[in-house]
Amino acid sequence: MDPIYVCGHRNPDTDSIVSAMAYAALNNALGDHDYVPARLGQLNDESTFLLERFGFEPPLLLTTVRTQVRDIEYDIPPTIGRQVPVSHAWQILREHKSLPAVPVTCEDGSLYGMITAGSVAESDMESIVNPSVHDVPVFNLLSALEGHIVNSEEDAFDLISGEVVIALPHAGDPLRGMKEGAIVLCGESEDVIDAALARGASCIIICQGAAPAQYLGLHSKTCIMVTPCDAYRAARMIYQAIPVSRIAQTEDLVCFHLNDFIDDVRETVLQSRYRSYPIIDHRGHVAGTLSRYHLLRPKRKRVVLVDHNEKSQSIPGLDQAEIIAIIDHHRLADVQTGHPVFMRNEPVGSTTTIVATMFQERGLQPSEKLAGLMAAAILSDTVLFKSPTCTQRDKRMAERLARIAGIDLERLGREMFSAASSADKPAETLLNTDFKEFHIAGHALGISQITCLETDALLTRMDELLPAMNKLRQLRGYDMMLLMVTDVLRCGTELIFLGDEEIIEQAFGTGKIAGQHVFLPGVVSRKKQIVPALAVLWG
């Protein structure tokens, strides 16, 4: 069953990580498909601490949901070892007529080449022009002829070479034109067999009969075989006994890998004329083949978006994915779907609160560990219930989850915010840990947020933070770049900014600002306080 990925936003915070894990756990418990929680970036210190605290592994790191080769229903044909005779390859091609080509593999499973019905036909026509064969494995020949060797057991024959000659009942010489080293097909005539031995035949094949007694156990450099086939069929089967590696296409192969993107594959296919393309897995083994028709309607990856509904904050390649559901507590943005989807958007302080409510509605109780993790996520996103986005539902749900987990919310809050110390991190890391991009009335805006127990240590690093902010601003073309350093104990935010300071003064009523930062008492929410204030000013 194909997985459904549950994804939070880029630069994930704790609520984004935990709501994805909780929603996947809920649906898996209900038996609905295979839900896989995923993250779109590295964990921050707080999330890392909480996952370790409650005994969870980090969710899968997902970098894109663009359609890949592994997502399409490609063919899984039988593969043919390169030493297999052409006759067996032809049988495989006849049994799988819908396949344009079949992969030929080396002993380790890696791709050697490709074989088609046309390859076999071309080889067969070549035998008319050149009736000689070279180094045909004896095992292949015996299998093709359904025959056996009558020589002495001491005689070892591994490879057979030579021009194929059929002895005919001429009045004179039945082996007329035979060259030394030829492969002679004949009946039980002792005269013909003796003549072939005398002229140095490399192999004598006695057709539709038995070897005369004097040749049984004969010690000779000439291999003597017996086959139930008639001479014509035996001659054809000799050419069919050569290893398939001799006729397989091995040059200019166009191969794809399971992780290749369909857009790139389609472009390559349009520039080539092959009917079938081998697919290689991560071990270098053949995983299957694809043809042009596989690219017409590729399967899309299925995703659930949690804690966001804005394309710029979501996973790359979202336009190629099938969105199954959206669970969020932010404003509705620009994510579009190709069909109606389940949508749950509620004005609460944490997406985890919504998911916990869904557990409750379905009569399910999360495990103690998951309940503790969910309570922590609500604490994190509501900044210990001090954020203006926090509702009574958030508080009640966090308290209920804490009772299930047997934890103290106040102590947990101090532990998790202490774990998120930012004092020794590089400025670039601090900016990208919890970063979101917004577009308001034609203005591009980047807002990063750091939540901590006290802000003084970070403010001493302004000479590092401002250049890093300016670099990011220029790289992405932002009109304004903001860094919120939110102090949990003071219940406010030290706002560091790059851009028009008059905008900040008017939006937040600060009066004249000296420098490039200002403390905003009571401001702890990016979406509820910072963005709306700028939106009102910009119209």
Q: Find the mean pLDDT for residues 316-333.
A: 93
Written as six digits, the tokens of 32 are 């609905």
Model confidence over 488-527: pLDDT tens digits? 888 899 999 999 999 999 999 988 888 899 999 999 988 8
- Local confidence band at 213 (pLDDT 50, 70, 90 cut-offs): confident
Instruction: Please check the confidence at residue 15 and state whether its pLDDT lies above 90.
Output: yes
pLDDT score of 406: 96
* Same domain as 489, residue 448: yes
- Residue 403: predicted pLDDT: 97
CATH number at residue 399: 3.90.1640.10
CA angle, 465 then 471 then 477, to 5°: 125
How many Å apart are CA 170 and CA 173, to the nearest integer? Answer: 6
In this prediction, residue 467 carries a pLDDT of 94
- 175 versus 281: the higher-pLDDT residue is 281
| 41-55, 121-135, 363-377, 429-443: least confident range | 121-135
> How many independent structural domains does the chain possess?
4
At CB < 8 A and 24+ separation, what contacts does 389-398 make? Answer: 389/329, 389/348, 389/349, 389/525, 389/527, 389/528, 390/349, 391/347, 391/348, 391/349, 391/353, 393/348, 393/353, 393/357, 394/348, 394/349, 394/350, 394/353, 397/353, 397/356, 397/357, 398/353
pLDDT at 197: 93
Give me the CATH number covering residue 287. Answer: 3.10.580.10
**Is residue 230 domain-shared with residue 311, that is, in the same domain?**
no
The model's pTM:
0.72
Q: Percent of the chain scored above 90 by pLDDT? A: 61
Q: What's 452's domain CATH number?
A: 3.10.310.20
**Domain identity same for 215 and 153:** yes
Output the pLDDT for position 98: 86
Considering the domain architecture, whether residues 158 and 171 belong to the same structural domain is answered as yes
| Tokens, residue 96 | 């799988």
At residue 419, the pLDDT reads 75
Residue 171: per-residue pLDDT: 56
> What's residue 420's pLDDT?
67
pLDDT digits (tens, 9 = 90+) for 111-128: 999 999 888 888 888 877
pLDDT average, residue stretch 432-460: 87
What pLDDT sits at residue 374? 98
Mean pLDDT of the chain, nearest integer: 91
Q: Are 201 and 184 spatial neighbours (Cβ–Cβ below 8 Å)? A: yes
Chain-centroid distance of CA 56 in Å reads: 24
| Structure confidence at residue 453 (pLDDT) | 78
Q: What average pLDDT does range 255-264 have in this prediction?
A: 94
Whether the per-residue pLDDT at 238 is higher than 60: the answer is yes
**Same structural domain, 262 and 323:** no
Parent domain of 478: 427-538
pLDDT tens-digit series, residues 66-102 = 999 999 999 999 999 999 899 888 989 989 888 889 9
**What is the pLDDT, as a whole number, of residue 445?**
93
pLDDT value at residue 458:
84
Asked whether residue 433 falls in the same domain as residue 505, the answer is yes
3-state secondary structure 149-173: ECCCCCCCCCEEEEEEEECCCCCCC
Q: Are residues 239 and 135 in the same domain?
A: yes
Tell me what pLDDT residue 28 has. 95
Q: What letter would DSSP give residue 40?
A: E
Same domain, 59 and 76: no
Domain end call among 364, 398, 419: 419
Q: Please, what's the b/e burial string for 258-285 (b: 16 or more CB within 10 A of its CB; e: otherwise)? A: eebbbeebeeebeeeebebbbbbeeeeb
| pLDDT score at 32 | 74
User: Among 51-55, 153-157, 481-485, whose mean pLDDT is lowest?
Assistant: 153-157
- 279 forms bridges with which residues in the sheet? 256, 288
pLDDT at 241 over 60: yes
Q: Of the candidates 419, 452, 471, which is a domain's last residue?
A: 419
Residue after which a domain boundary falls, among 263, 295, 327: 295
Question: 214 with 266, same domain?
Answer: no
Looking at the structure, do residues 132 and 238 belong to the same domain, yes or no? yes
The whole-number average pLDDT for the span 269-293 is 92
Assess whether 411 and 464 both reside in one domain.
no
Distance of alpha carbon 28 from alpha carbon 327, whole angstroms: 16
Alpha-carbon span 212 to 516, nearest angstrom: 107
Which two tokens mark 357? 């409510």
Is pLDDT of 184 > 70? Answer: yes
214 and 191, same structural domain? yes
